[in-house]
Structure 1
Amino acid sequence: MTGEEPLRPQSLMLTFLGDQVLGRDVCVYSGSVIDVFARAGIGEQAARSTLTRMVHRGLLRRQREGRRMYFGLTERSEAVLRDGERRIWRTGAVNRHWDGTWTLLGFSLPESWQRQRHDLRSRLAWSGFGPLFGGLWIAPGEVDVTALVADLGLSAHVKVFRAHADPGMDIGRMIEDTWELSGLAERYTAFVRRWQPWQSDLPEAGDGLVLRLRLQTEWLQVIRRDPRLPVRHLPDDWPAEEAEKTFRTVHERLTPLARKASGRLLDLVPVRDGQA
């Protein structure tokens, strides 16, 4: 595939778990993970290291069956995967139904709190916020940041408001000043360029599974950086709609092949309580 980019093993792992384990109450054999990752160009050591790190971070649980080790989801990883699932299949890449509401979040942290500031900004960007001025961030729509702020222990340092722009406010200019539209547009365009050929060309069944995992991983990496700005205030040639259409078309074409391959390649067992 032209323009193929290397994927982080943990990103691919999360996609794999969301695709094959989420909502099924099953655990997957480590050897199956290693096999699939090898087909994606990721070596056995990297796959095993990723599994181990995710266990230590509370993102995976282990379950032994005889001499084999299986891995399943934790509450934490399930929440992460449900959020990704929502982003891909329900929220979508194009915001056509914005009601004019903005969420404003202001924060003031001590100068020595560099880590907390970095964590807050990263979480705000993931939630669709952009920096309006210094410690004042803005996002389209009504964004509930209660859990986000509480999780970081910053409730006393953050103030949140809902607002509407005054008539005459140049929202398009504000968007251009707050978010890096050119970089986001290029990511959508690059996605279309990489994946459009697979709307007509079909791979072998085994490659179909890996390609679908890569497709979903790359798509989530693109849309997770998108604040879903109101489309009526974006450039007329905004490429998100074409990219989303490409994603859904290719995903649909790859799905029968991926299901056939997963049935052959994956060893899954039911989740048992009391395993760690």
Structure 2
Amino acid sequence: MLTFLGNYVLRRDIAVFSGSFIELFGRLGVSEHALRSTLTRMVGKDLLARHRQGRRMHFGLTDRSRRILMDGEQRVWTHGAVNGDWDGSWTVLAFSMPESWQSRRHELRSRLTWAGFGSLGNGMWIAPAEVDVTPIAAGLGLNGHMKVFTGAAQEPTDVPSMIKDAFDLDGLTENYQAFLARWDRPDPLPDAPDDLARFLWMTTEWLQLVRFDPRLPVEYLPQDWPAIRGEHVLWELRARYEEPARRLADEALEFIRVD
């Protein structure tokens, strides 16, 4: 759903008729009940806003969903998964909080992972870039419980070993290889109903990959790092699917204009 909204609703100031969602996602194998439940949950999470026109219900973006969708767009199409221009900077973050703050600890760890940090244990996290942690810690009440530094690694730091300790390279490799197994072929997903379905499945799967990819410097990764080939396949298939997918989406969308 977020992939669809990011490609066909973001920046258009529209709210989409619920029936359009039902038709489009039905072609992807999503039942009407599941689709309506998803819309309701997203409204509850401030990711969609209801707009009623007569007896018809439409759904548009919120400020929160716009921020999330633009962040995902940046990760997929602007920053990419391959970090070939690293400047040598690391952000090191350490935190300590009472045991009773379990929910806050879990939320902070989730945010750090999303921001590209990996854990070295004992509350210490690292990211291969200068990261502004202010929005990461926002609303968690961690003043006095967190320390943050940025700079280059110094001798005798074993950077390759540090990366292996902090980041799940085997898991990342396995996930990228699964993407390639599905998409790096002449006719991906031959049983899909159309190119809109293929484009949505492909970009959703890729976003899930880059969501947990810290964009490690290529000089510390294997030469056959599968993200390199994966990104090439992504752009190649985007060129094939994007225009026919947009035509199909535009033909199926009924919407109203919203401020």
Give the TM bin, normalised by the shorter chain: over 0.9
Contact 2:28/2:193, CA 8 A, preserved across alignment: no
Determine the C-alpha separation between the residues in 1 that align with 2:200 and 2:175: 18
State the secondary structure of the residue aligned to 1:151.
coil
Whether the 8 Å CA contact 1:205–1:261 is kept in 2: the answer is: no
C-alpha deviation, 1:42, in angstroms: 1.2
How many Å apart are 1:168 and its aligned residue?
A: 4.6
| Separation in 1, partners of 2:141, 2:61 | 26
| Cα distance change of structure 1 residues 188 and 204 upon mapping to structure 2, 3 Å threshold | closer
The Cα shift of 1:152 comes to 2.2
| Matches for 1:34-113 after TM superposition, within 5 Å | 34-113=22-101
Q: Any conservation in 1 of the 2:192–2:198 contact (CA below 8 Å)?
A: no
Aligned residue for 1:117?
105
Q: Secondary structure at the match of 1:125?
A: helix
Change (3 A) 1:257 1:105: same
- The separation in 1 between residues aligned to 2:248 and 2:143, in whole angstroms, is 47
Task: Give the equivalent residue in structure 2 for 1:263.
Answer: 250
Give the secondary structure class of the aligned counterpart of 1:187: helix
- Aligned length in residues: 259
| AA in 1 matched with 2:15 | C
TM-score, normalised via structure 1 length: 0.89
Contact 2:196 2:241 in 1 (8 A): yes
SS at match of 1:155: coil
Report the alpha carbon displacement of residue 156 of structure 1 after superposing the two structures with TM: 2.8
2:205 matched to which residue of 1? 218
Distance 2:191 2:100 in 1: 54
Number of the residue aligned with 2:20: 32
Whether contact under 8 Å (1:36, 1:210) holds in the other structure is: no
CA distance in 2, matches of 1:30, 1:192: 34
In structure 2, the residue matched to 1:243 is 230
Secondary structure, counterpart of 2:148 in structure 1:
strand
What's the CA shift for 1:29? 0.8
Q: Quote the offset at 1:232 in angstroms.
A: 0.3
TM-score by length of 2: 0.95
Work out whether residues 120 and 166 of structure 2, in 8 Å CA contact, stay in contact via their aligned partners in 1. yes
Q: Deviations over 1:10-29 (max 9, x none)?
A: xxx11111111001111111
2:150 partner SS: strand
Could you say what the CA RMSD is over the residues aligned between the two structures, in angstroms?
A: 1.7
Q: Which runs of 5+ in 2 are unaligned?
A: none
Gaps of 5+ in 1: 1-12
Aligned residue number for residue 4 of structure 1: none
CA contact (8 A) 1:206 1:257 kept: no
From 216, 219, 239, the equivalent of 1:232 is 219
Query: What's the CA shift string for 1:164-223, capped at 9, x where partnerless?
Result: 1113532111111111101101111110110123x5569799621121111111000011
Deviation of 1:248 (Å): 1.1
1:114 partner amino acid: Q
Structure 1: 4+ residue segments shifted above 6 A: 201-205
Distance 2:192 2:250 in 1: 11
